[in-house]
Amino acid sequence: MAGVAGARIILGVSGGIAAYKAVDVCRRLVDAGAHVVPVLTEGALRFVGRTTFDALGSERAWTSLWDADRPIPHTHLGQSADLVLVAPATARVLGLYRAGISEDLLQNVLLATRAPVVVCPAMHTEMWEHPAVQENLAVLRSRGVHVVDPGVGRLAGGDVGAGRLAEPADIVAAVEAVLSGAPPQPGRPQAGTGAADLAGLRVLVTAGGTREPIDPVRFIGNRSSGKQGHAVAAEALLRGAEVTLVSTTSPQDLPAGIEIVRVETAAEMQEAVLDRAEKADVVVMAAAVADFRPVRTAERKLKKADGAPELVLEPTTDILAALGQQRRAGQTIVGFAAETDDLRANAAAKLTRKGVDLIVANDVSAPGVGFEHDTNAVVILDAAGGAVEVPLSDKRAIARSILDAVIQTRSDQ
């Protein structure tokens, strides 16, 4: 592991239950040839012992700004580091770092270094998804901080969800990638900086499931929550794009700066999308648009006593196909395929039939995948026959993989 071998790495460990995994991270980095200097916060010492890191690290662990035998440690550590790694990084550590508050040794090192910084968030799902935490991460990414997103799995207290510290092997791989400048590996946790690689581009995103009215209170719809489309919109904004979101659901906790257009029916979405698509450089059709709608809508609520209504349906306009037909030069179009069987075959056929650049396909019958979940697992197919599989991850991580594929597609054009 050439990037790690010989590197001087400051390993910051903060106060979360995931601190026990930092022991394995430390061991793996040392085994790979790094000189590892552990820096433990007061909170970390409530979960792990200093003696363990004294034994496994390349030198004795640091725990305080006030070690009498080592003056101004933060300056020395920050200036001598080839990389600073924080694993786990709690919500508190991320907030202090974003705000530039230096209340302990680790925060001082983070502010005093000019070396690359990699943070590995770990916290409960509700904390991970809180808008303040996501805003802090967005700001840190914009400053060049590398973030290894947490995984999905069992959390403290027996809950299951997003926020679990990335696995030690993936953290070490991300560190190696930063140090060596290696390209990211699709489908694996990456130390992304949130670089503005979409700057200057206009991105149009759709989200949610349309509702086709039967009467004033009933409709034909689907289970799409809009979460994946909202995640794509937020990630595109972070990466520098000018973003418009056409959504059937009310977006929550999205960063300021996204133009939001609310619609309900397929016809309304068609009008909103086609009116705006001509000016868009990238269109991501994440919405689940109804294939059929009632020919007639009752003006009054249908009564049960009147018997079951006879519904006559007609097809809605295929918005994705229309986009493919009217695309302008240099435009990138991304479609979605929610399937329950023959995932790749159905998605590949849709890619060709619609005339788009990318199809993001998921098996919505699989646990934790797709509609209404905070997680997703997809395969991204391109028009050249390539495929990228992204395993079960939170939807923001899926959004990053989708936009990475968009960037790659545009660079190949």
Q: Are 245 and 236 in contact (CB under 8 A)?
A: no
> Cβ–Cβ contacts within 10 Å for residue 35, how many?
18
Q: Are 366 and 378 in contact (CB under 8 A)?
A: no
**What is the torsional sign of CA 372, 375, 378, 382?**
positive
Give the Cα separation of 53 and 12 in Å (integer). Answer: 11
Query: Omega before 88 cis (within 30°)?
Result: yes
The residue with tokens 């329950």 is 340
222 as an active site residue: the answer is: yes
Single out the catalytic residue among 108, 136, 222, 376: 222
- In the chain, the amino acid numbered 297 is T
Q: Are 394 and 375 in contact (CB under 8 A)?
A: yes
- Cα 173 to Cα 165, 169, 178, 334: the distances in Å are 14, 6, 9, 30
Secondary structure of the chain as H, E, C letters: CCCCCCCEEEEEECCCCCHHHHHHHHHHHHHCCCEEEEEECCCHHHCCCHHHHHHHCCCCCECCCCCCCCCCHHHHHHHHCCEEEEEEECHHHHHHHHHCCCCCHHHHHHHHCCCCEEEEECCCHHHHCCHHHHHHHHHHHHCCCEEECCEEEECHHHCEEEEECCCHHHHHHHHHHHHHCCCCCCCCCCEECCCCCCCCCEEEEEECECCEECCCCCEECCCCCCHHHHHHHHHHHHCCCEEEEEECCCCCCCCCCCEEEECCCHHHHHHHHHHHHCCCCEEEECCECCCEEECCCCCCCCCHHHCCCCCCEEECCCHHHHHHHHCCCCCEEEEEEEECCCHHHHHHHHHHHHCCCEEEEEECCCCCCCCCCCEEEEEEEECCCCEEEEEEEEHHHHHHHHHHHHHHHHHHC
Residues classed as catalytic: 222
